[in-house]
Amino acid sequence: MKTCLRLATLAVLALTMLGCDVIEKAINAPPKGSLDAVLLCMKENADKEKLIGEDFIERQCVEKHQLFSSRQPSESKQCGAWVTIEPKGTSRIEPSEKCINTTDRMIISLSGAITINNLSSDIDGSGLTYSETAQGKSNSTRIDPDKTLHWNIIRTEHVWPDQVTGNEPYCSKKPDELCVSWSFTGYHYLKINI
């Protein structure tokens, strides 16, 4: 009983030492993932602008407050992409202009995956095949709702097996051969709270 009383007394003492401003600020803080949270972060760090620059402060505040969704950023049926495979380097997914941000959020970056299907596993001569996937992310950007995802290239660093030449057809055209497919795996975003 004495321990609980001491802890309660320490808690009350700590709250009074923090002051009303700190408590009020914590209660009234905008929710994480909102534009207001980013703006408040930028305002609180404006005094550092001469040392590190406004752009750096903005990027850091966005990164601190952005949220992630594993849902699809575009529900458009016509959404497609050009996939470029570099067997020993940076492969790319380039969404077409028909890929539209169908969310109600400002997309900050896109995540995606490239998969090579029907790779041959000749270790034991069994003729078994397997798939290999590489994950990647686009650079920071801003894509408003109903705007295109085009020009937001998802890059992935991956060394593919020797069978991969970079000229593989899309699996939608030749699903039984060595082929490539792609997908969005999610996106980072800010809630638009206007």
CA max distance for the chain: 75
Residue 127 has pLDDT above 60, yes or no: yes
Distance CA 26, CA 4 (A): 25
- Domain extent listing, the chain: 1-30, 32-65, 69-191
Alpha helices, H only, the chain: 2-18, 20-28, 35-44, 49-52, 54-65
Q: Shortest CA distance to 87 belongs to which of 174, 157, 185?
A: 157
Tokens of 68: 């992630």
Would you state the pLDDT for residue 18?
Answer: 58
* Residues 6+ positions from 181 with CB-CB distance below 8 Å: 114, 115, 117, 170, 171, 172
Residue pair 101/144 in contact by the 8 Å Cβ criterion: yes
Q: How many residues does the chain have?
A: 194
What pLDDT, on a 0 to 100 scale, did the predictor assign at position 19?
Answer: 60
Higher pLDDT, 163 or 128: 163
Nearest in space to 194 (alpha carbons), one of 105, 100, 62, 61: 105
Mean pLDDT along residues 56-71: 93
Confidence of residue 182 (pLDDT cuts 50, 70, 90): very high
Across the range 59-70, mean pLDDT stands at 93
Q: What pLDDT digit, counting tens, does each position of 78-111 carry?
A: 899 999 999 988 999 999 999 999 999 999 999 9
